Amino acid sequence: MDQEINDLHDLLLDPIFPDLDIKLRSGWHCDEEEIEAFDFITKTQDKIEMFYELYGFELLYATEGYYYLRPVSSKIKVRTLGMEAMIISQFLALMKMDPQYLESTGFFDLQELMDKIELTLGKKQVSQLFLKRKKYKEAISEQDALNFQLSVKKALRELARYGFISINPDFTKIYPRKPIFRFMDPIRNMDNPRAALESIVRGENPFESNDESEEDDD
């Protein structure tokens, strides 16, 4: 940022802001790995907040260290992630919390992620969620495996577009970034968020077990 931002006029004239504005409105999340954009938002946060209030958005800063917009009105249509991307994001958040992750390079490859999904969900749920099959068949063909892979790749590209992950062209390095923890928001204040997220990725409701434990305590 070359010039000082004193008011909204300066903000709108800064060459960095137009592209940043488009990306934020599309649902992009900005962490410190986006050095220029993150520094710009940090230094001009109060002006950016004023600007987006006019359009019914809040600029939020998450405790993990990233910015994103949250709508507080219906003035601008908000995009939502596809179901496959939502499921995969939860798996990546869970994998990022794994102690083994901290001891490794921090990257996963495509096969590692697919194996984790299939091991946790089972072939029947993978068939329903990723292959869109209403009826499950035991035998998995080569085409089924390819379709599963293509579905996962499509979801990963979507997550990368919104700043949740970084990927390389051949999907040998999938790097979950800090914004991936946004998918923990509903369970963040639970006693064991990691266990609750494990329940979610298995298709269970962690809030039911939490309510039962509270009743037992009473």
**2-44 confidence digits (pLDDT tens):** 678 889 999 999 999 999 999 999 999 999 999 999 999 999 9
Structure-model confidence comparison of residues 212 and 137, the more confident one:
137
pTM score of the predicted model: 0.85
Contact 65, 34 (CB under 8 A): no
Confidence of residue 176 (pLDDT cuts 50, 70, 90): very high
Residues 6+ apart with CB under 8 A from 45: 59, 61
| Cα 53 to Cα 71: distance, rounded to the nearest angstrom | 9
Residues of the chain with CATH 1.10.10.2260: 83-204
Nearest CA to 40 among 22, 17, 23?
Answer: 17
pLDDT digits 0-9 by tens, 99-110: 777 567 778 899
Determine the distance from the C-alpha atom of residue 82 to the mean position of all C-alpha atoms in its chain, rounded to a whole number: 11
d(Cα 169, Cα 175) in Å, to the nearest integer? 13
144: its two tokens: 């089924």
The pLDDT assigned to 98 comes to 79
Count the neighbouring beta carbons within 10 Å of the beta carbon of residue 40.
Answer: 20
Q: Is 125 helix (H, G, I), strand (E, B) or coil?
A: helix
Pairing of strands 165-167, 30-31: unpaired
Burial of 105 (0-12, 13-18, 19+ CB in 10 A): exposed
Name the CATH superfamily for 83-204.
Answer: MukE-like family, C-terminal domain (1.10.10.2260)
User: At 175, which helix (H) or strand (E)?
Assistant: strand 174-176
Q: Give me 93's structure tokens.
A: 């958040």
41, 67 in Cβ contact below 8 A? yes
Per-residue pLDDT band at 189 (split at 50, 70, 90): confident
Pick the closest to residue 62 from 179, 183, 165, 193 (CA basis). 179
Q: For the domain covering 8-71, report its CATH number.
A: 1.10.10.2250
Q: Using the structure block, give the residue that is written with the tokens 């992750």.
A: 101
Residue 58 DSSP SS3: strand
Supply the angle between the helices 193-201 and 206-217 in degrees, to the nearest 10. 130
CATH 1.10.10.2250 range(s) for the chain read 8-71
Is the pLDDT reported for residue 197 higher than 70? yes
For the chain, give the percent of residues with pLDDT over 90: 53
Taken in order 47, 49, 51, 54, the sign of the CA dihedral is negative
